[in-house]
Amino acid sequence: MEDKNMENNSQMNNSQAGVCEPIRVLHVFGRVGLGGAESRIMDLYRNIDRDKIQFDFLVHYSAKKTGKMAPTSDELLAVREPDFYDEAIRELGGNIYVLPRFEGKNFFAYKKAISNFFSENRGKWQVVHGHMTSTAALYLPVARKKGGAAVTIAHSRNAGTEPGLKGIATKILRLPLKRLGTADHYFTCSEKAGRAVFGDKLFDQGYVRTIPNAIDVKKFAYDADIRNKIRAELGVSEDEIVIGHVGRFDYQKNHEYLIRIFDQVLKLAKEKMPDRKLLLIMLGQGSLMDTVKAQVNDLGIQDRVRFLGLKGNSSDYYRAMDYFLFPSFFEGLPGTVVEAQAAGLKCLISDTITTEVDITELVSRMDIRKDPSEWAGKILEDLAHLPDRQAETPRFEQELADAGFDAQTQAKAISYFYEHGSFKD
């Protein structure tokens, strides 16, 4: 590994010799919406020295509107709908490029589009950082060979796949990532995610580097004025209990189970705290939102559940919450749980999630095979002993920072890597 780092370091220094332009890093994503991985990179982007390092983004979009199998980036940009972070990326000095979305049947057209893209942009990026691991084994070798990238990175962000054919296809496409040479470096947000994508052998031999999903910790600090403002907008009284969840509406997040838990919470609360109202607020969008809304209506609890969609000021909504619920089937390392801890919220999460997210005493976990009533019982117990968030938040902030989850600290470490091809251990 040291020889590889020295080789990459030399290549990066040579590419920068006599040049005053910043090192450009290309981040590869499916899209730049308000997702966890995208938000973590944007937190880093805002905190790096952009005179030294600049980010560009390569995203994916359906080729159907172009009428071509392997359209160019410009052709896709012309038909692509703007995404959440587009404006912020351009304001910070970044560019957005587009590849056709991989759909299996367009395997060869996708490979052709990758080859054309990196050939046409050869030498533009010293580092190509791939967060989309499903096709990383296709685009990273080409980024180095055709694009001239000195360093390529495969970054595991998740510890599981969806059930069915899509999940099987993803596992097959990721197989080359389990051996050396597909990428120069292998990053992961947690041990579970690293082993799931890169395999036990590479992980145990020390080739996989864990990079905490760092957040802008102070952005989530408890603020009573903001809490009151958001709760007023929601029509929530001060003595009403707000349970919160943040996550896209898809299989992984296990919303069907979450709603059943909340339904049981409402039933138990009638017995144990009849004078208190409870409300569930959920931030996010996704393909299963309508299904979850139908479930809420079927249970007759629609007046106690709010679907708030995507919120660019999600930190303000954490402040309005009193408790955080997150029963996912699988995760890499959920940044939302880190954010909830920064906001001083007690969190109840599934025991399938890596323990690396248990940074403070605020996190409890339960088995998602248990009856929802058992989760509900635990929630009511916790609600009777909530922390003094005004007093305790500074301590939680410090614990997160000490564990490497502060974006300012992480930005310095990753910047050094981008400049030198190795970490300053």
Nearest to 261 by CA among 148, 349, 173: 349
Residue type, 296: V
Q: What mean pLDDT do residues 114-122 have?
A: 98
Q: What mean pLDDT do residues 57-72 have?
A: 96
Residue 319 has pLDDT above 90, yes or no: yes
Q: What mean pLDDT do residues 372-385 have?
A: 97
pLDDT tens column, 169-218: 999 999 999 999 999 999 999 999 999 999 999 999 999 999 999 999 99
Nearest to 161 by CA among 250, 62, 246: 250
Q: How confident is the prediction for the chain on average, in pLDDT? A: 94
pLDDT tens column, 286-309: 999 999 999 999 999 999 999 999
pLDDT tens column, 393-406: 999 999 999 999 99
Residue 5 has pLDDT above 60, yes or no: no
pLDDT score recorded for residue 424: 86
pLDDT tens column, 192-205: 999 999 999 999 99
Q: What mean pLDDT do residues 84-89 have?
A: 97
Residue 9 has pLDDT above 50, yes or no: no
Q: What mean pLDDT do residues 94-115 have?
A: 97
**Domains in the chain, start-ordered, CATH in brackets?**
2-214+406-420 (3.40.50.2000), 217-402 (3.40.50.2000)
Under the banding of pLDDT at 50, 70 and 90, the label for residue 14 is very low
**CA 3 – CA 91 distance, rounded (Å):** 38
Q: What mean pLDDT do residues 338-357 have?
A: 97
Yes or no: say if 201 and 194 are a contact pair by the CB < 8 Å rule.
Answer: no
Element (H, E) at 180: none
Residue 221 has pLDDT above 60, yes or no: yes
Under the banding of pLDDT at 50, 70 and 90, the label for residue 230 is very high
Residue 8 has pLDDT above 80, yes or no: no
**CA 126 – CA 118 distance, rounded (Å):** 12
Strands (DSSP E) found in 293-414: 305-309, 323-326, 346-350, 363-366
**CA 24 – CA 126 distance, rounded (Å):** 6
The share of the chain scoring above pLDDT 70, in percent, equals: 96
Under the banding of pLDDT at 50, 70 and 90, the label for residue 336 is very high
Yes or no: say if 193 and 210 are a contact pair by the CB < 8 Å rule.
Answer: no
Nearest to 322 by CA among 346, 306, 342: 346
pLDDT tens column, 234-273: 999 989 999 999 999 999 999 999 999 999 999 999 999 9
Residue 386 has pLDDT above 60, yes or no: yes
The share of the chain scoring above pLDDT 90, in percent, equals: 91
Element (H, E) at 384: none
The alpha carbon of 336 is separated from its chain's Cα centroid by a whole number of angstroms, namely 8
Residue 4 has pLDDT above 60, yes or no: no
Residue type, 287: S
- Residue scoring higher pLDDT (165 or 109): 109
**CA 179 – CA 185 distance, rounded (Å):** 11
DSSP 215: B
List residues bridging with 209 in a β-sheet: 187
Residue 39 has pLDDT above 90, yes or no: yes
Q: What mean pLDDT do residues 15-38 have?
A: 84
Under the banding of pLDDT at 50, 70 and 90, the label for residue 162 is confident
pLDDT score recorded for residue 12: 53
Under the banding of pLDDT at 50, 70 and 90, the label for residue 163 is confident
